[in-house]
Amino acid sequence: MASNKPKKSLLNLQSKLAVTLFFILVFTIPALLLLHTPSTLTCTNLSASKETWSGNVREAEFSWNRLRFVDKNPPMMTLRIAVFSRKWPTSANPGGMERHAQTLHTALALRGHQVHVFTSPAGDGVAPITTQEQVRSEGSWHPSLPIVHWHDGEPDKWRYNKAWEIFQEVNQSEPFDVVHSESVSLPFWLAKQVPKLAVSWHGIALESVQSSIYQDLARKPDEPISPAFNESLQGMIPKVLNEIRFFKNYAHHVAISDSCGEMLRDVYQIPSKRVHVIVNGVNEKDFHQDFRLGLMLRSKIGIPQNVSLVLGIAGRLVKDKGHPLLYEAFSKLKTKYPDVYLIVAGSGPWLQRYRELGSRVKVLGSVNPVELRAFYNAIDVFVNPTLRPQGLDLTLMEAMMSGKPVMASRFPSIKGTIVINDEFGFMFSPNVESLYEKLELAVAEGSERLAQRGKACLDYATSMFTARKMALAYERLFLCIKNETFCMYP
C-alpha cells in the first residue's frame, strides 16, 4: 500500500494542475477574447473624437491622450502632488517604471506644480532629501524639479511604511492636493485612507496569466516544462481574485493601455468613472529624428552603407521579452538574406548568444538615452517580440517618436493602443514562424517603404506619446480630483 502513495500524490498534483488549466482556458481566455473584440469606437472615430468629443472626462472610455487639454504655463491651478514610487532613477539605465515616473513628474514640475516623490533609498553618492524646508535651507531645491524623499534603509529596497511616515509628516505641514501611487507602491489598506488618490497600473495579474501562457507556448517540443510555471499557475487565479477584491480600495485607476482599461471596468468591476486611460509618454527631447546621428552609429559599429535592411531591438535581453523568438528567426533570416543586419541594445542573459550569431549582429550592450537616440535613428524597423502582454514597453513609443515603424507581438495592449493602423508596421503571433514571415515582408518592402511607414508612426506618436501630452492628461485628472469643475471637457 505504501508504494501507491507517491502515485496518489502525483495524481493529486496533476489533478490540481488540470483544474487550474481548465479554469484558465475555459473562463479566462474566452473572457479576454470578448473583452478585446474590436471596439465600436474605431480608430477613425477616435481621431475625430479629440475634435468633437465633450462631456465629463471621467466618462471617457478611450485614452485621454487623444484629447486636447489647455497647454498654457502656468496651468489653470498649481497643485501640490505626492508621489509614491518604489524606485527613482539614480543611474544611467533605470527600469521602465522608474523612467516613466521620472518623465511624468519632472514634466509636471516643469509646469509649475510642486511634486514630492517618496521612494526607496538611493545608491552610494546620492544625498537623501527629507523635507522641503531642508532642501530650501541647503539651497539645492529648484522649483522646476520634483522634491525626492528617500526613506531610510537598504538601497533600492522599498519600505512603504517608512515612506508613509515621511509623507504624513510633510502632509501635516501643508496638505497635498492629490496623491499618486505607481502601481501598488502604496498598499490598499493605506490607499483607502486617501480619497484623492490615483493609482497607475503598469501591469495587472489578469495580464500576467496571459504572459505565463505565451511564455510556455514558446517552449520547444523537447524542452521540459518549468517547475516554476506549474507553481505559478496554481497561484495565478487566487492572485487575480485577490486583486479584484482589493483594487476597489483605490479611488481612481489609471490604465496605461486601452485593453487594461477594459479589464479594470469589465473584469475587476471598477466603476467606469473611476477608470481612466492615460498612455505613457516619452521625452520628445530625447527621442526624435536625427539621420546624421544614425549614420554615424552605423559607421562606428561597422555596418556598410549599401545594406538592404537594418533591424533593431532594445531593452532587457531576457526570455520573457521574446529574445528566443528573434534569435531563432534572425538565425534563419541571415542565411537567406546576406545584407540584412541586426542591432541589439541592452543587457541580459541573451547578450552573449546574439554575439554568437556573427558579424551581422551588432550588440551595443547597455546604453543611456543619448545613445538610444542614435540607435533608433540607425535602424529601419524596430522589433519587439515580447511575450509579456502586461503594460506597454516604452521602447515602442521611443521608436515611433524617432520616426521608425515597429514590428510587435499581436497583444491587445499593443494592437489597441500602439499599432492601431496597419501603416505603422507589422504585427505577428508570438512564435518564430509568424515573426519570420513578417521579417521577410520587411525585407521585401525595403528601407524606402519602411521610411514612409516611419513618417506615419512619427505623426501618430507626436500626437499621442510625448511626455508633455502625458503630463497634460495627468494634470487634468489631478485637477479633476481636486475640483470637479475641471472634470468638464473642453
Q: Is the pLDDT of residue 157 over 70?
A: yes
State pLDDT tens for residues 450-490: 999 999 999 999 999 999 999 999 999 999 999 999 999 99
Burial of 334 (0-12, 13-18, 19+ CB in 10 A): middle
Cell of 276: 481612466
pLDDT at 125 over 80: no
pLDDT reading at 212 higher than 90: no
Q: What is the DSSP letter of 24?
A: I
Please report which confidence band the pLDDT of residue 19 belongs to, taking 50, 70 and 90 as the band edges: very low
Query: Is the confidence at residue 229, as pLDDT, over 80?
Result: no
Neighbours of 156 (CB within 10 A): 14
- Report d(CA 118, CA 3) in Å as an integer: 57
Q: Give the pLDDT confidence score for residue 236 in this predicted structure.
A: 85
Report which of 107, 110, 174, 170 is spatially closest to residue 143, judged by C-alpha positions: 110
CB 79 within 8 A of CB 116: no
Helix (H) or strand (E) holding 318: none
Residue 92 confidence (pLDDT): 65
- What pTM was estimated for this model as a whole? 0.88
Place of cell 522641503: 132
Residue 17: pLDDT band with limits 50, 70, 90: low
Domains along the chain with CATH numbers: 43-281+468-489 (3.40.50.2000), 291-464 (3.40.50.2000)
pLDDT digits (tens, 9 = 90+) for 320-335: 999 999 999 999 999 9
Residue 388 has φ and ψ, to the nearest 5°, of -115, 105
- pLDDT value at residue 50: 54
Do 372 and 314 touch, CB atoms closer than 8 A? Answer: yes
Strand partners, 384: 408
d(CA 465, CA 444): 29
| pLDDT score recorded for residue 343 | 98
The phi, psi pair for 266, rounded to 5°, reads -90, -35
CA distance 230 to 244: 23
End-to-end alpha-carbon separation of the chain, Å? 76
pLDDT band of 161, cuts 50, 70, 90:
very high
Residue 270's pLDDT band (cuts 50, 70, 90) = very high
Which 3 state secondary structure label does DSSP give 215?
helix
pLDDT at 21 > cutoff 70: no
pLDDT at 145 over 50: yes
Residue 191: strand, helix, or coil: helix
C-alpha 69/C-alpha 488 separation (Å) is 11
* Residue of 101, 174, 188, 91 lying closest to 132 (CA atoms): 174
Instruction: List, for residues 73-104, the tens digit of each pLDDT value.
Output: 889 899 999 999 999 988 766 777 888 999 99
Q: Given this model, what pLDDT does residue 391 score?
A: 86
Peptide bond into 128 cis (omega under 30): no
Three-state DSSP class for residue 465: coil
* pLDDT tens digits, 35-69: 443 343 334 344 434 558 999 999 999 999 999 99
Could you tell me the pLDDT band of residue 9, with boundaries at 50, 70 and 90?
low
| pLDDT reported for residue 15 | 47
Residue 424 CB partners (closer than 8 Å, separation 6+): 400, 405, 406, 418, 453, 456, 457, 460
Q: If DSSP states are collapsed to H, E and C, what string results for 231-247?
A: HHHHHHHHHHHHHHHHH
**pLDDT(12) > 80:** no
Residue 308: helix, strand or coil by DSSP? coil
pLDDT at 132 over 60: no
